[in-house]
Amino acid sequence: MGQRPAIAWMTGLSGAGKSTIADAVDRALTEAGRSTMVLDGDNLRQGLNRDLGFTAADRIENIRRAAEAARLMAEAGLVVIVSLISPFRAERADARAIVGDIPFLEVFIDTPLSVCEARDPKGLYDQARAGKIPNFTGISAPYEAPTEPDLALQTRDQAVADSAQPLIAALFRLSAHAPGRPA
């Protein structure tokens, strides 16, 4: 395949910019000849994880399944970009453990709650504040921000391309060939 596998695990609140950055990173890597796959939380919940709700137990299982899928894809040689709220530190650590020796970057999309609420095109935060959506991360359910992420990306005052650039660079480094190995 001409590359090393790697996993970038993006975490952050709803509306932080995870999916937008994942798409930009995917596009940049693909244009440069890398083989990639994006695992987006919304897409996973429409398919593989459609049987899960938003209880703490279901969120934990959602993260476990995403990590297992990311591991399988990386074992096939892909650079995997996971875009998932993944609100709990312990489960993000479990995801890192599940992937084993595959290079893994925990990427915090560090966007203030107020900015996420202002960006909310579906009105989910308003619905959550009105009590219409139970267990909504950041409102009625906790979000545990990473204490030591491998990367922290700011989306508040930056264009998507600028926010994505450090992750693009990191994934290029991680997925490059080892010295002496054929491309």
- Indicate the pLDDT class of residue 44, thresholds 50, 70 and 90: confident
DSSP letter assigned to residue 15:
T
For residue 136, the tally of other CB atoms under 10 A from its CB is 18
* CATH classification at residue 167: 3.40.50.300
Residue 148 lies in a domain: yes
Residues in the chain: 183
Q: Give residue-wise pLDDT tens across range 51-74.
A: 877 777 888 888 889 999 999 999
The count of domains in the chain is 1
Residue 121 lies in a domain: no
Q: Domain range spanning residue 77? A: 6-113+144-175
Answer yes or no: are the C-beta atoms of 1 and 143 closer than 8 Å: no
Q: Give residue-wise pLDDT tens across range 87-136.
A: 999 999 999 999 999 999 999 999 999 999 998 878 999 999 999 998 89
Q: Residue 88 and residue 79: Cα distance in Å, rounded?
A: 23
Answer yes or no: are the C-beta atoms of 158 and 111 closer than 8 Å: no
Residue 132 lies in a domain: no
Q: Kindly name the residue from 86, 114, 163, 175 that is annotated as catalytic.
A: 86
Give 51-102 as a DSSP string: T--SSHHHHHHHHHHHHHHHHHHHHTT-EEEEE-----HHHHHHHHHHHTTS
Binding-site positions for ATP read: 12-19
Question: Would you call 86 a catalytic residue per the annotation?
Answer: yes
